[in-house]
Amino acid sequence: MGNAGSSVKDSNRETGAVGIRLRRLRRRLGRRWRLLRGLDLEGAVLVYQMGKVASTSVFHSLLDLPGCQAYHVHRMAPDNIARMRQAYLDRGMPPLDDRLGRQLYQRLVLPGRPASVISLVREPISRNISAFFQGLDGYAGQRDAHRHLDTDALIDCFFSRYLHSIPVEWFDREMKASLGIDVFDSPFPRAQGHQQLASGPYRLLLMRHDLDDEVKERAVAEFLGRDDFRLRRVNEASAKGYAEAYRAFRERIRVPAEYADGLLGSRYARHFYDAEALAAFRRRWVG
Q: Annotate 36-51 with DSSP letters as a single string.
A: HH----TT-EEEES-S
Separation between Cα atoms, residue 139 and residue 163, nearest integer Å:
10
pTM, entire model:
0.85
pLDDT at 250: 97
pLDDT at 1: 40
Pick from 49, 50, 64, 56: nearest CA to 226? 64
Q: In terms of DSSP bridges, do strands 115-121 and 45-48 run parallel, antiparallel, or are they unpaired? A: parallel
pLDDT at 287: 81
> Across the 287 residues of the chain, what is the mean pLDDT of every consecutive 10-residue run?
42 49 52 57 95 94 94 97 95 92 96 97 98 94 94 97 97 98 98 97 98 97 96 69 93 98 98 98 95
Q: What does each C-alpha distance from 152 to 148, 252, 272 come to in angstroms?
A: 12, 8, 31
Separation between Cα atoms, residue 30 and residue 101, nearest integer Å:
19
Pick from 160, 26, 45: nearest CA to 92? 160
Pick from 185, 178, 59, 37: nearest CA to 112? 178
Separation between Cα atoms, residue 85 and residue 156, nearest integer Å:
23
Q: Are 247 and 229 a contacting pair, CB within 8 Å?
A: no
pLDDT at 242: 87
202-208 β-sheet, strand order? 70-73, 45-48, 115-121, 202-208, 194-199
Separation between Cα atoms, residue 194 and residue 190, nearest integer Å:
8
